[in-house]
């Protein structure tokens, strides 16, 4: 025979903290009840013990759950605050030091070449012409084919067929606008151009070179803000810095000098302006080096950076 089994039952016992559950041995008659899985006689005082036990379990369980939730909440908010602090510190570093660090890094030059009016159809015609006239195979790739990395949908905001103004504005401002728009969005609000950002934010030297008039729609969309491409007198004023941002183009080569010359022009200079404003002289007073002839152009010293801004 093994050791006599001592039964236990839950009995309430008063304490200084109130009623708590304690376990106490009882006689052998209750042992049979234990064996028969009748630990608690609900007709006796054990009902009170159960209520106390349940209340304690509920209290401690609720307290444990509450502590767990508070701990998770603290961890969550600590993580959020840490991320916010890191983000703020990062933004301050980038603003005060990051831009200077990038400026000190290796120089990067960007040259954007725009073939005005050129598209896939023109390239296809040129490719087919080369294949036929030089007996190239049908797998021939032109120099442009070899460097092609993508294409753009060139429609404007008001037409399936874009014009030079809306197309150039999409390049300069990264948004579509209506045909005829010069550096303005579809609501005719001026938009920031890539040359303005390069000059004012990155302190980069900027330039425009055109085989057309420098006041023509394509170069104008990078250097002016006008509601119509036909406003070339106004575009010329923008190009010499006659607006709130000041001069943002350091070098401008192209035609269209007549839009910089007033009606009472000096001898030898032709004017197509509608007023008597002489922008050519204004540009010179504002520090521009001006060239009017091929001889002056050939005499330029490319190493002389003191010539900028140059018109």
Q: Which residues are catalytic?
A: 164
Q: Is the preceding omega at residue 114 within 30 degrees of 0, hence cis?
A: no
Report which of 30, 22, 26, 25 is spatially closest to residue 48, judged by C-alpha positions. 22
Contact between residue 241 and residue 286 where contact means Cβ atoms under 8 Å apart? yes
* Phi, psi dihedrals of residue 219, rounded to the nearest 5°: -65, -30
Length of the chain in terms of residues written: 311
Structure tokens at 4: 């006599």
Structure tokens at 24: 């106490």
Signed CA dihedral, 295, 301, 304, 305: sign only: positive
Contact between residue 193 and residue 172 where contact means Cβ atoms under 8 Å apart? yes
* Phi, psi dihedrals of residue 70, rounded to the nearest 5°: -65, -40
Contact between residue 165 and residue 221 where contact means Cβ atoms under 8 Å apart? yes
> What is the rounded CA–CA span in Å between residue 113 and residue 144?
12
């Amino acid at each position: 025979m093994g050791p006599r089994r001592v039964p236990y039952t839950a009995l309430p016992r008063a304490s200084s903290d109130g009623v708590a559950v304690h376990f106490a041995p009882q006689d052998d008659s209750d042992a049979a009840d234990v064996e028969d899985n009748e630990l608690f006689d609900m007709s006796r005082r054990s009902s009170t013990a159960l209520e106390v036990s349940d209340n304690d379990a509920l209290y401690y369980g609720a307290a444990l759950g509450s502590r767990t939730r508070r701990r998770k909440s603290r961890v969550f908010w600590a993580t959020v605050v840490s991320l916010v602090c890191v983000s703020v510190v990062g933004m301050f570093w980038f603003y005060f030091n990051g831009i200077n660090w990038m400026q000190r890094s290796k120089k990067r030059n960007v040259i954007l070449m725009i073939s005005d009016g050129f598209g896939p159809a023109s390239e296809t015609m040129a490719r087919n012409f080369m294949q036929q006239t030089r007996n190239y195979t049908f797998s021939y790739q032109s120099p442009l084919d070899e460097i092609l990395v993508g294409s753009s949908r060139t429609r404007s905001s008001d037409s399936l067929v874009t014009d030079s103004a809306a197309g150039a504005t999409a390049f300069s401002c990264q948004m579509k606008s209506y045909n005829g728009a010069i550096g303005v969005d579809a609501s005719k609000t001026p938009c920031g151009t890539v040359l303005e950002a390069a000059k004012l934010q990155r302190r980069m030297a900027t330039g425009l070179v055109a085989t057309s008039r420098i006041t023509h729609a394509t170069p104008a969309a990078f250097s002016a803000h006008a509601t119509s491409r036909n406003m070339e007198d106004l575009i010329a004023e923008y190009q010499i810095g006659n607006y709130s941002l000041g001069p943002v183009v350091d070098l401008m080569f192209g035609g269209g000098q007549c839009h910089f010359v007033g009606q009472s022009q000096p001898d030898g200079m032709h004017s197509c302006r509608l007023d008597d404003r002489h922008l050519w002289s204004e540009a010179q007073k504002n520090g521009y080096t001006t060239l009017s002839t091929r001889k002056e152009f050939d005499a330029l010293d490319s190493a002389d950076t003191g010539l900028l801004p140059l018109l």
